[in-house]
Homo-oligomer: A and B are copies of this chain.
Amino acid sequence: MAGYVSDAVIRRLPGYYRHLRELEAAGVTQISSQELGRRMQLTPSQIRQDINCFGGFGRQGYGYKVSELKGHIGDILGLDRIHRVIIVGAGNIGAAVANYPTFSREGFETQAIFDVEESKIGKTMNGVTVRHMDDLEEYLAANPADIAVLALPAGVAQDTLDRLYESGVRAVWNFAPTDLNHSDDMIVVNVHLSDSLQILSYRMAHRDQD
């Protein structure tokens, strides 16, 4: 990867990956910066800048090879490796993550699901068994996980994050609607659903000002 990449470019990477995957699935082998820009609502020059920024692909006038560029961006995103995932919380969001169609294809392999509710223990979600939270530490000692998904109420999220850290987990995908304190050597990415809905609401309220 060529040097410093800005946060704005990093945020756009998954969008590139998604569009290239769709193009590949549609049988498109080659795409120009004009056409990719039209799809992604970016200017052709923005597209060329971004792609130069992460490695310099394509030749002037020839466009980009879809599979090659998708593979390259996938590598940058770390999709070239397997991530062992555990899900903490077997509610609707935990189930949505366990059943999300593209995750396993992209190397995110759910190995275990944890919950506190007795009625859920022993059941399976997408083939993965739900275990009791009491067994979390013992499980992780025997089966280290790369990523923990926090799909539980805000009130228990911090305690659970601390337990995961103690057990060696260093990356958390947090769906609990709260910001968590964590050590600098732990990566936490939040999916605050409420934030996204509030942005929609903001844009509706200020629609006439656009």
Binding site for B on A (CB under 8 A): 1, 10-11, 13-15, 17-19, 22, 39-40, 76-79, 81, 83, 91-93, 95-97, 99-103, 106, 108, 146-147, 153, 170-171, 173, 177-179, 187, 189, 191-207
Contacts and interface: CB of A to CB of B under 8 A. Distances in A.
Q: Which of A93, A201, A203 has the most CB of B within 10 A?
A: A201
A97 B178 CA distance: 17
Contact of A171 (B17, B78, B178, B200): B200
A17 B81 CA distance: 37
B191 A196 contact: yes
Given A96-B93, A205-B78, A199 B194 contact: no
Q: Which of A79, A170, A200 has the most CB of B within 10 A?
A: A200
Counting every copy of the chain, the complex holds 2
A105 to B, nearest CB: 10
11 contacts: A14-B195, A15-B179, A78-B202, A79-B198, A81-B205, A92-B95, A93-B96, A108-B197, A147-B200, A170-B204, A191-B191
Contacts of A194: 14, 18, 100, 102-103, 106
Contact of A204 (B103, B178, B187, B192): B187
A18 B177 contact: yes
A17 B202 CA distance: 12
A199 B146 contact: no
Contacts of A40: 179
A13 B93 CA distance: 24
Given A13-B202, A106-B198, A207 B187 contact: yes
A146 to B, nearest CB: 7
B195 A193 contact: no
Nearest to A73: B198
A198 B17 CA distance: 10
B96 A179 contact: no
Given A19-B179, A77-B201, A171-B204, 9 more contacts: A39-B179, A91-B96, A96-B193, A100-B193, A147-B204, A173-B200, A189-B196, A189-B197, A191-B196
